[in-house]
Chains A and B, each alone.
Chain A
Amino acid sequence: MAVRVLGVGAAAPELRLHAADVGAAWGRGGRGDVAVCAPDEDTLTLSWLAATRALRAAGVEASDVDVLFWGTSRPPFAEGPSFAFLAASLSLSASIGGSLSAGSAHSGIEAFVGAADAVRAGSARIALVVASDAVRPGPGTGFEARCGAGAAALVLATDEPEAAPATIGATIGARVTRTRPFLDRYRGDGEVDNRDLYDARLFREEIFLPVVNEVAEALAAFDVRAWSLPDPDGRLGAVVARKAGAAETPSATVYAAIGDAGAAAPLLGGIAAMDTAGLVAIVATGGGRTTGLLVDVAAPVPGAATTLQSISGGATASYAEALRARGQLLPVGETIPMGVPPESAMFVRGADEMLGLLGGRCVDCGTISTPPSIHPHCINCGGPKLEPVALSRGGRVHTFVVNQTMPAPFVAPLPIAVLDMDDGSRLMLQAIGDGTDIEIGTRVELVLRKYAHERGVPVYGFKARAKKDDES
């Protein structure tokens, strides 16, 4: 049974850090930019955005997804409900299958392979693959000026006519993999920051190039049109490409936009190449494993053409801002604790309605009260019968403020907006950015973000983001 790619999506975080600014702080040089998560972004929020885009491109409803395979070097909870949070925030079925692969830059392709195998084996009709990465590099390490962040997502399906129209584009083909017990980028047990372990020459000559070249050469036996190659420093990918005779390497374009996005990088390069017919080779390495596989693109895959647009742009952050965003620059003293701590029963009662953004619609008058758990009665007519509904993810700004006086851990300016949602409901949520891009009437969409990191627990919810003129 063939496995088809129905649609793809990509995401990159808000901030861009000049490598030269990092170098200047440590008395070194540096070139290019890397993508850095804003304080309210992490691998979960990036995954949500890429997956949402992929589902939209594929024209697949979240409730129709049978399995979720998520690969990320750094799940938001070291131990905890990372998979369940992503599934809930995407409104996937409660009976969703699949798995979370983690712990190395190889985890993204592991998710891809796992999902393809599940579909091929007939245990799932529609699979969602997400690869994401946002490591925290150790300050002062060479790794700091190279590591980026991002996410890629693919919707896979069987080639049964009811699952995928025959005109849709790409099928997953041959695969080659090698395992060797060597370290690459590294984070020990209990450590928070990533670092390089080996001497750069030792890594290049004895670890990276031998195995990656071996896998690439095996794929080069086919008529490969475009290559997504691992590129941990912006140079090694080109070395492999030369040896394999690769002419087109979208992975290099991805690196130039966001740096080394680790587990997400091979799939980002791969989906970027799926807008043109021909064979695409995707090679990933990390954690002692190297895997290559081929995707045969017969016609452009929905969403592929906007991959690079989805990860371009971003706001320039100073080195100090990047350190603060990564949690490596902290204010002295205690910050203001949340009134409702994450261990509160409120988060148990409210888990679904906060992550899934639910409201209660009055059976009598139709008014939506949000969230349901604090509204046993309708806010309009006082009626007692409310049915849960998923709220619109689009709306317009009714009114707003920009809070410029905030105690730590908040950072001003913080825009907060009252929103008229498309379904007639009202919400008040934080808005992304500094408030200069919103005014009354501004069209917004809701995106998942991290609202707090309290007592070691991330707290997620939706925020408003102004839609640009060219966005529908």
Chain B
Amino acid sequence: MSWNRVAVVGAGLIKMGELFEQSYEQMAAGAFDAAVASVDKGFEPSQVEAAFVATQRGTLWGQEGIGGNTIPTAIGLTGIPCTRVENACPSGSDAFRVGAMAVASGVHDVVLVIGVEKMRDKSSEEGLLSRAAAGHPIFTRGETAPVLFAPFATRHMHEFGTTREMLASVAVKNHYNGARDPYAHFQNEVTVDDVLKSAPVCHPLHLLDCCPQTDGAAATLLVNAERAREFTDKPVYVAGFGVATDHPYLHEKDSFTEIKVTRLASQRAYAMAGVGPSDIDCAEVHDCFTITEILDIEDLGFFDKGDGGRASLEGETSLEGRIPVNTSGGLLAKGHPIGATGVAQITECWWQLRGEAGDRQVDIRNGYVLQHNAGGRGSGVSVVNILTNRA
């Protein structure tokens, strides 16, 4: 029996992209407005009792001091309680989990969870690439973001015969889906050949194996499940969630063919929701790189270990496949505005469960959809949320 103490009654996001013309605050306001407008029976902003904001890079990227007090003013609700949640790439999904716990605790009945990230106000050299000089002066020197995942690709290819074509098939599928998502950063389809011939970034990953740097924001409105019908006749419930941590440095990993935290977090979420991988109708997973999605679909239990590459190549994760993955286009096509990413994934899950995903709509047979992020130094943290439309 699922947990189902909290309902999602509104969700929305802004068009992702290089939003040079928008401020952090303007992006937040846009996402909040979209979430408010999505509530079937109407929603007054003043009904928000508390907010949880996910922003991952605020202190590094020219938004110094972004704390809990920035968002209320940006959305016209100065004075409400607001707390910033920062937990690496899963910041958005963890803010969602924390918001759900705040509602479930009975302290608040109506909570806003909002993710906002400004990735492009600084150059790439000062942004993601600057990771190369961050951290431990020896053990992480040169460790740009792809270095965190490319070693898994090298090892997965070595142990299971995973090919670059299999990796590329993930990018092809997600760009196909993104081209059908009006909110996606990239709206174009790509071919396997495009991926294989794109510029080398971090062997064995090439440019189209990597997600872009994207500005964006997304918001969800969470209410006590007993009050869900005040807002909608099609509520979506939080069925379960799980979080796990692992060592922060890559040299401490037990294995380079799995993201252990994903396996642990999903096991906890499945147990809480009372379901298993075969009950999931579709999933939004962390595909910062093509290899990451292949690892995800194995570690989440959708496919046997080592089988993720084949399954991707053979279309088992496409919109018509056995388990559609990243119907929104994923991080690869929709973009990865870090703090906003998890909340945007929740939004896609919400649409899928309500049958509102348009050209991307998949068949919802069991009524369970899974959302997942992994990240932090060396994939040190993962968050999995499971949503359901079954009361």
Are B251 and A401 interface neighbours, CB within 8 A? no
Question: Judging by beta carbons under 8 Å apart, are B202 and A379 in contact?
Answer: no
Pick the contact of A405 from B143, B146, B154, B158 — CB < 8 Å?
A: B146
> Does A354 count as interface, using CB distance less than 8 angstroms?
yes
Find residues 189-207 in chain B having any chain A CB closer than 8 Å to their own CB.
Answer: 199-205
Q: Is A16 located at the chain interface by the 8 A CB criterion? A: no
Inter-chain CA distance A414–B201, complex, in Å, is 11
Q: Within the complex, what minimum Cβ distance (angstroms) separates A69 from chain B? A: 28
* B330 vs chain A, min Cβ distance (A): 21
Does A221 count as interface, using CB distance less than 8 angstroms? no
CB-CB < 8 A to A369: which residues of B? 252
- The CA of A414 and the CA of B140, in the complex, are separated in Å by 13
Expressed in whole angstroms, the Cα–Cα distance for A429 and B139 within the complex equals 6
Q: Are A407 and B158 in contact (CB under 8 A)?
A: no
Query: Is there a chain A Cβ closer than 8 Å to B359's Cβ?
Result: no
With A339-B135, A416-B143, A452-B137 given, is the CB distance from A440 to B200 under 8 Å?
Answer: no
How many angstroms from the CA of A205 to the CA of B139 in the assembled complex?
Answer: 53
Q: Out of B135, B141, B252, name the residue touching A452 (CB < 8 Å).
A: B141
Q: Check A77 for interface membership: any CB of B closer than 8 A.
A: no
**Which of B137, B144, B200, B249 interacts with A406 by CB under 8 Å?**
B144
**Neighbouring A residues of B147 by C-beta, 8 Å:** 401, 403, 416
Which residues of chain B are within 8 angstroms of A342 by Cβ–Cβ distance? Answer: 137
Out of B125, B151, B204, B205, name the residue touching A407 (CB < 8 Å).
B125
Whether A176 is near chain B, meaning CB under 8 Å from some CB there, is: no
Q: Would you call B155 and A398 a contact (CB within 8 A)?
A: yes
A-side contacts of B14, CB under 8 Å: none
Pick from A371, A403, A419, A440: contact of B158, CB below 8 A.
Answer: A440
The reply to whether the CB of A169 lies closer than 8 angstroms to some CB of chain B is no
CB-based contact B251/A339 at 8 Å: no
A429 and B142 CA atoms in complex are apart in Å by 9
Could you tell me the distance in whole angstroms from the C-beta of A284 to the nearest C-beta in chain B? Answer: 36
| B152 sits at the interface (CB 8 A) | yes
CB of B130 closer than 8 Å to a CB of A: yes
Q: Give the contacts of B218-253 with A (CB-CB under 8 A).
A: 247, 249-253
Is the C-beta of A340 less than 8 angstroms from some C-beta in chain B?
Answer: yes
Interface residues of A in 406-455 (CB under 8 A from B): 406-408, 410, 413-414, 416, 418-419, 426-430, 435, 440, 451-452
Instruction: Report the bound CA distance from A337 to B129 in whole Å.
Output: 11
Q: When the two chains form their complex, are residues B146 and A399 in contact, meaning their CB atoms are under 8 A apart?
A: no
Whether a CB of chain A sits under 8 angstroms from the CB of B134 is yes
- Residue of A403, A407, A418 near B256 (CB, 8 A) is A418
A336: chain B residues at CB < 8 Å are 125-126, 129-130, 132-133
What separation, in Å, do the CA atoms of A354 and B200 have in the docked complex? 32
Q: Which residue of A lies closest to B125 (CB)?
A: A407
Contact B137 A399 (CB under 8 A): no
Other-chain contact of B137, A370, A419, A429, A461 (Cβ < 8 Å) = A461
State the CA gap A459–B67 with chains docked (Å): 35
B136 within 8 A of A: yes
Q: Flag if A407 contacts B132 (CB, 8 Å).
A: yes
Whether the Cβ atoms of A346 and B137 lie closer than 8 Å is yes
B135 touches A440 (CB 8 A): no
Cα(A369)–Cα(B151), bound, Å: 20
- Taking a contact as CB atoms closer than 8 A, the residue among B137, B154, B199, B252 that contacts A451 in the complex is B137
Q: How far is the CB of B290 from chain A (nearest CB, A)?
A: 14
Check: B138 CB closer than 8 A to any chain A CB: yes
Say yes or no: A451-B138 contact (C-beta < 8 A), given A336-B133, A406-B144: yes
B203→A402 contact, CB < 8 A: yes
A399 and B142: CB pair below 8 A?
Answer: no
Q: Is the CB of B142 within 8 A of A414?
A: yes
Q: Chain A CB within 10 Å — which of B144, B201, B247 has the most?
A: B144
| B-side contacts of A462, CB under 8 Å | 138
Q: Is B28 an interface residue (CB 8 A)?
A: no
The 4 closest A-B pairs by CB, nearest first: A339-B134, A461-B138, A402-B203, A401-B150
Of the A-B pairs whose beta carbons lie under 8 Å apart in the complex, a sample of 14, sorted by A's number, is A336-B132, A340-B137, A369-B252, A401-B151, A401-B154, A406-B129, A406-B144, A407-B125, A410-B132, A416-B147, A416-B151, A418-B151, A428-B139, A430-B141
Given A371-B139, A399-B158; 10 other pairs, CB 8 A cutoff = A339-B137, A347-B137, A370-B251, A398-B155, A401-B146, A405-B146, A406-B129, A406-B132, A427-B251, A429-B139
